[in-house]
Amino acid sequence: MSLRARIDRLVPPEKRQELGDQLQKFASTALDRHVRLAVTGLSQSGKTVFITSLLDHLLSARDSNGLPFFSLCNEDRLLGVKLLPSQGGQEFPFRESMDQLNASPTQWPASTDKLSSIRLAIRYRPGSKVQRMVSETATLYLDIIDYPGEWLLDLPMLQQNFNSWSQQQYRLMAQEPRQSMAKSWLNGAAELDGEAPADQSQITEFSAQYRGLLQGFRRHEQRLSLLQPGRFILPGNLEGSELLQFFPLVKTNSEASQEGSLYAQLEQRFEDYKQQVVEEFYRNHFCHFDRQVVLIDCLKTLNNGRACFDDMQEAVAGILQSFQYGQSGLLRRLFKPRIDRVLFASTKADHVTANQHHNLEQFLELIIQQARRDIQFEGLETRCMAIASYRATGAAEAEVDGQVLSCLKGFRKQNHEPVVLFPGEVPTALPQDKDWSGQRFRFVDFAPPDLKKVRDTPASHIRMDQAIQYLLGDKLR
Amino acid sequence: MSGDEKQRQDWQPAIELNPEQLRDLPNTEEAAVEQVDSGEDKKDTDKSEKNAGLSRIFVAISALLVKLIIIVECYRLVSWGYQQHWSLGTLLSLLIVSVLVMAIVLALRALKGMRQLRRRQPLQQRASQMIASNQYKQAAPLLDEMAEQLKGTALVVPLQQCINEVDSVYRDGEVIRFVSNHGFVEADRKAIDKISRCSFDTAALVAVSPFASFDILLAAWRNWRMLNSIADCYGIAPGIAGQWRLLRQVLHNLAFVGLSELAIDNSGTLLTGSVTGQLTARIGQGLGAGLVTARIGLEAVKLCRPLPFDEGNKPKLSQIQSSLLKELKSKF
Ligand SMILES: Nc1nc2c(ncn2[C@@H]2O[C@H](COP(=O)(O)OP(=O)(O)OP(=O)(O)O)[C@@H](O)[C@H]2O)c(=O)[nH]1
Ligand SMILES: [Mg+2]
């Protein structure tokens, strides 16, 4: 008996059609995939703008030439992109951000003060014939969350206890520029006796002062980044809560502290903060990522100097230790997804001239050196790229003292006045102390571009298409 | 003060300028393609030919001899014609002149194609090197040279358009990748189309023909034609000499370079036992012949294309293979 006849007897032809349809349906849902993208970055590094640009460009990708290096568009396989309502929780304010960018005068989206999420469905034709035999179309769901960058700095606290955290804070405060600002607070804290019974009003007073101190570090001309706990700066819905009432205190003796002593009380608050704030944030939002983009504002460090650079380097290294890295095999994914590809992006590349982009990438490598080595140790692919979510400047040339300089032209962020600027050259090695000079760099903040003029062209961004290709390309084959 | 000056030597301080100080930007990309000068093309005559002095002299002498003989023969023929009758003589001389003209035209064309093909390889090599480069604004000479090579073909218009669309912030590597991805879309599509069609024809021919030796001849002829039209897609003038060179290179690459690629390419495809088992032997043979044709075609595309394919954008044998299989199964 031939195979065909045997199959016919087993499954009658009329049934087979139905069965085939069902199989196909099953297989095609198996083809649908989820990618959870971690957009990681300190405050003001450009997360919100990056997410907005990503959504904006993907949503208009089908009918535009705006993403020439995104292979889904190149190969004409993109069928459509749609925003889906977020799965519970606050929705990412995409429309509002777009409205602000399109307002006149144009504005950047406001700094984020709460957590929000968004889901995007990308419908496409699979490129490989094998997959296409299963299904003509497939869908990729992309989940992204946005949050205030300050909160990210809480993550390293998860691996610390009160004592080690306090020691780290005191170490930081023993160095300039923190030292001079913290002097009086440190003097006050030195007189506290950890073993004395806890005095509630004292705790309140010292935590308020500590909070003021952190805010001062942030406003300091070096724009320090390593500020913990993050909620002290941006409390969200925790304003006034007891959870925010603690401060670092170093133990003077090695004996266990008495119940009810100041030290024990602070330690308890620290643990509560860790458990109720940080761990919840981490568990609900930060342990399921597949892909990660780390946004870093290198220009800020160049503008501000050595202390800013060191501080950012330490902050980034601390944060990246909290993520799960490793190859995500199928089995492993079922239990716990892991990040299997990381893109380090130097944002705001439009603040430097195009011939400096490669230098910017090399400088970025300096900042992330240690963190990147750890990640690569896990066998992950990483990449450094200079990007701009939206390109706010144009190229220009000017002659100064007989020399032709490549310049930028744009509009100042604060007042929309036209600016023409030679912003300085990005060094590829860490500058010597004497070279962190005030005259060397001048990266000014630019107002967003008039999006109507550059809409649907590659001129609306810098390398967003290559970033998208790197982060999602292999999931869309 | 002197310390200050020393610092200035390392780096240019940032300055803010007056908008009036700006100069007009030359549009380098457009200029790149327009200012095509033809004086340059003598540079790249093949160096390997220089050391072939002896054989050259030999070839020249024999060519001279052959020419001499032909001229003498022609003269004898014409004078014999005139002896018979003046009209026969005129007819013969007209005939000889027109054959001569045709031969010259053909020879020129053949040489043209060959020269074009020969100039592709250095171009591709330079492009591959540039793809890895992080420099900025150094791609114009390469694009110039490419435009010069493609002058007068149908490829120039889309290429020019694509070059105009190159974004001003791209580095050289990105420029080349962009042009490679977007400048030859039409040509690539046409070439792949031709390959698919020809490989199906070959497969069908071998599958139905009862004479083994005859269909090998036919298939060879079809492949020859395919090479010709692929070269044409990428702006290489058709001609015996060029095509011969192309065939030689294709066969060389298939024999020595292509094997590892084939192994990678085939690993994920459908040629598993269960599928091939269902085919009859004839169709199986046809499929084999079709695949050889497809490989020859893809190799020819690689050689003729002015720029190498961007990573991930390469046409793959497996693509042609599965559509070929589907078509064969539906027809037989
Ligand atoms: N020129 C330019 N400026 C940018 C770009 N992306 C971000 N910026 C600037 O960086 C600022 C901060 O960007 P956001 O996206 O709000 O930063 P964030 O990481 O979300 O910051 P928080 O929400 O405070 O954590 C913006 O107001 C812009 O001034 C860009 O692509 N180009
Ligand atoms: Mg934000």
A466 shares a domain with A318: yes
> What is the structure's pLDDT at B257?
56
Residue A291 and residue A276 share a domain: no
Residue A344: inside a domain:
yes
A316 or B244, which is more confident: A316
Question: CA-based angle A439:A391:A98, to the nearest 5?
Answer: 125
Does residue A144 share a domain with residue A172?
A: no
Mutation to probe ligand 1, out of A39, A40, A47, A49 (largest number of atoms < 8 A from CB)? A49
Q: Are B279 and B287 in contact (CB under 8 A)?
A: yes
In this prediction, residue B269 carries a pLDDT of 47
pLDDT at B256: 65
> Which one, of A291, A293, A295, lies nearest residue A340 by Cα?
A291
pLDDT (mean) for B120-149: 90
Looking at the complex, does the CB of residue A98 fall below 8 Å from at least one CB of chain B?
no
> Sorting pLDDT into bands at 50, 70 and 90, what band is A402?
confident
Residues in A touching B279 (Cβ below 8 Å): none
Distance CA B226, CA B289 (A): 14
Q: Is A45 in the pocket of ligand 1 (CB under 6 A)?
A: yes
Alpha-carbon gap, residue A176 to A217, rounded angstroms: 11
Residue B55 has pLDDT above 80, yes or no: yes
Virtual CA dihedral for B145, B147, B148, B151, nearest 10 degrees?
160
- B264, pLDDT greater than 50: no
Do A461 and A335 reside in the same domain of the chain? yes
Contact A4, A16 (CB under 8 A): no
Answer with the residue of higher pLDDT: A230 or B263.
Answer: A230
The end-to-end CA distance of chain A, in Å, is 41
Q: How large a percentage of chain A has pLDDT more than 70?
A: 89
Mutation test of ligand 1: which of A40, A42, A48, A100 has the most ligand atoms closer than 8 Å to its C-beta? A48
State whether A273 and A359 are in the same domain: no
Please give the average per-residue pLDDT across A373-391, as a whole number. 90
Instruction: From the CA of A113, give the closest atom in ligand 1.
Output: 23
Note whether A172 and A242 are same-domain residues: yes
What gap in Å lies between CA A309 and CA B20, rounded to an integer? Answer: 35
Mean pLDDT of the region A132-140: 79
Q: Which residue, A243, A265, A283, sits at the end of a domain?
A: A283
- A3 belongs to a structural domain: no
Nearest-CA distance A373 → chain B (Å): 23
3-state secondary structure of B330: helix
**To test ligand 1's pocket by mutation, which of A39, A42, A44 has the most ligand atoms within 8 angstroms of CB?**
A44
Do B23 and A398 touch, CB atoms closer than 8 A? yes
Q: Which of A357, A418, A458 sits opposite B171 (nearest CB)?
A: A357
User: DSSP string covering B105-141, please?
Assistant: HHHHHHHHHHHHHHHHHHHHHHHHHHHT---SS--HH
State the average pLDDT over residues B206-232: 82
Kindly state the average pLDDT of the residues A300-308.
86
Query: Sheet harboring A403-411: ordered strands across?
Result: B15-17, A418-422, A403-411, A394-400, B22-23
User: How confident is residue A283, by pLDDT bands cut at 50, 70 and 90?
Assistant: confident
Question: Smallest Cα–Cα separation from A342: which of A375, A303, A305?
Answer: A375
Q: Measured between alpha carbons, how far apart are the two ends of chain B, in Å?
A: 89
Average pLDDT of chain B to the nearest whole number:
78
pLDDT digits (tens, 9 = 90+) for B70-94: 888 888 888 888 888 888 888 988 9
pLDDT of residue B268 exceeding 50: no
Identify whether A433 is part of a domain.
no
pLDDT at position B5, please? 41
Three-state SS annotation for chain A: CCHHHHHHHHCCHHHHHHHHHHHHHHHHHHHCEEEEEEEEECCCCCHHHHHHHHHHHHHCHHHCCCCCCCHHHHCCCEEEEEEECCCCCCECCHHHHHHHHHCCCCCCCCCCCCCEEEEEEEEECCCCHHHHHHCCCEEEEEEEEECCHHHHCCHHHHHCCHHHHHHHHHHHHCCCCHHHHHHHHHHHHHCCCCCCECCHHHHHHHHHHHHHHHHHHHHCCCCCCCCCCHHHHCCHHHCCCHHHCCCCCCCCCCCCCCCCEHHHHHHHHHHHHHHHHHHHHHHHHCCCCCEEEEEECHHHHHHHCHHHHHHHHHHHHHHHCCCCECCCCHHHHHHCCCECEEEEEECCHHHCCHHHHHHHHHHHHHHHHHHHHHHHHCCCEEEEEECECCCCCEEEEEEECCEEEEEEEEEECCCCCEEEEECCCCCCCCCCHHHCCCCCCCCCCECCCCHHHHCCCHHHCECHHHHHHHHHHHHHC
Of residues A261 and B51, more confidently modeled:
A261
Distance A362 CA to ligand 1 centre (A): 21
Could B15 and A74 be called an inter-chain contact, meaning their C-beta atoms sit closer than 8 Å?
A: no
pLDDT at position B52 over 90: no
Residues A4-24 have pLDDT tens digits of 566 566 666 666 666 656 655
**What is the average pLDDT across A238-245?**
87
- The pLDDT tens digits for A179-211 are 888 898 999 888 888 788 888 888 999 999 999
Average of pLDDT values for A219-245? 87
Residues of chain B contacting A419 with CB distance shorter than 8 Å: 16
How far, in Å, CA of A92 to CA of A440, rounded? 38
AA identity, residue B88: L
- The CA angle A210-A216-A220, to the nearest 5 degrees, is 150
Which residues, numbered 37 to 66 in chain A, qualify as contacts with chain B under a Cβ-Cβ cut-off of 8 Å?
Answer: 65
The torsion angle over the Cα atoms of residues A380, A469, A85 and A38, rounded to 10 degrees, is: 30
pLDDT at B28: 46
* Residue nearest ligand 1's atom 14 by CA: A46
User: Which structure tokens are listed for B104?
Assistant: 């010259």
pLDDT tens digits, A165-180: 999 999 999 988 898 8
Distance from C-alpha of B249 to C-alpha of B255, rounded to nearest angstrom: 10
Burial of A279 per CB tally in 10 Å (0-12, 13-18, 19+) = middle
Tell me how crowded residue A389 is: count the other CB atoms within 10 A of its CB: 29
Q: Hey, is the C-beta of B53 within 8 angstroms of any chain A C-beta?
A: no
Any bridge partners for residue A39, and if so which?
A293
Instruction: Identify whether A6 is part of a domain.
Output: no
Collapsing DSSP states into helix, strand and coil, what is residue B324? helix
**pLDDT, tens only, A359-369:** 999 999 999 98
A190 and A50 inside one domain = no
B56 touches chain A (CB under 8 A): no
pLDDT given at position B130: 92
Segment A92-103 shows an average pLDDT of 93
β-strand partners of A36: A143
Q: What is the arithmetic mean of pLDDT over A27-36?
A: 68
| Secondary structure of residue B16 in the 3-state scheme | strand
Query: Which of A69, A439, A473 shows the shortest C-beta gap to B14?
Result: A439
Average pLDDT over chain A, rounded to an integer: 86
Q: How many CB atoms lie within 10 A of CB A288?
A: 16
Q: Is A423 an 8 Å CB contact of chain B? A: yes
- Angle, alpha carbons A429-A433-A435 (nearest 5°): 70
Length of chain B in terms of residues written: 332
A197 φ/ψ angles, rounded to the nearest 5 degrees: -60, 145
**Residue where one domain finishes, among candidates A253, A283, A313:** A283
Q: Measuring from atom 9 of ligand 1, which residue has the nearest CA?
A: A46
My answer on whether A470 and A365 are in the same domain is: yes
In tens, the pLDDT along A450-467 reads 888 888 888 899 999 999
> Domain for residue A20, yes or no?
no
B30 — pLDDT class (breaks 50, 70, 90): very low
Ligand with an atom nearest the CA of residue A46: 1
What pLDDT score does B33 carry?
A: 39
Per domain, the residue ranges of chain B are: 185-331
What residues of B are in contact with residue A405 (Cβ under 8 Å)?
A: 12
Examine the pLDDT at B39 and tell me if it is beyond 50. no
| String of DSSP letters for B182-222 | HSSHHHHHHHHHHHHHHHHHHHHHHHH-S-HHHHHHHHHHH
Say yes or no for a CB contact (<8 Å) between B15 and A421: yes
Residues A336 and A312 in one domain: yes
* Among protein residues, the one whose CA lies closest to atom 30 of ligand 1: A348
Structural domain span for residue A273: 160-283
Task: Using the predicted structure, report yes or no on whether residue A124 has a pLDDT greater than 90.
Answer: yes
Mean pLDDT over residues B32-45, rounded? Answer: 39
A416 CA from centroid of ligand 2 (Å): 22
Residues A139/A32, Cβ–Cβ less than 8 Å? yes
Judge if A380 and A462 occupy the same domain: yes
Q: Please tell me whether residues A54 and A184 are part of one structural domain.
A: no
> Per the structure, how many domains does chain A have?
2
Whether residue A339 is predicted with pLDDT greater than 70 in this model: the reply is: yes
CA distance A428 to A344: 16
- Residue A104, in any domain of the structure: yes
Residue B160: count other Cβ atoms within 10 Å of its Cβ: 19
Q: What percent of chain B has pLDDT over 70?
A: 80
Does residue A189 lie in a domain region? yes
Residue B49 has pLDDT above 70, yes or no: no
Per this entry, what is the length of chain A? 477
Per-residue pLDDT at A386: 95
The whole-number pLDDT of residue B312 equals 74
Our answer on whether the CB atom of A350 is closer than 6 Å to any ligand 1 atom is yes
What CATH number corresponds to the domain at position A132?
3.40.50
For chain B, give the percent of residues with pLDDT over 90.
19
Q: Is pLDDT of A49 > 90?
A: yes
* C-alpha span between A161 and B306 (Å, rounded): 62
- Does residue A9 sit within a domain? no
Q: Cα A83 from chain centroid?
A: 21
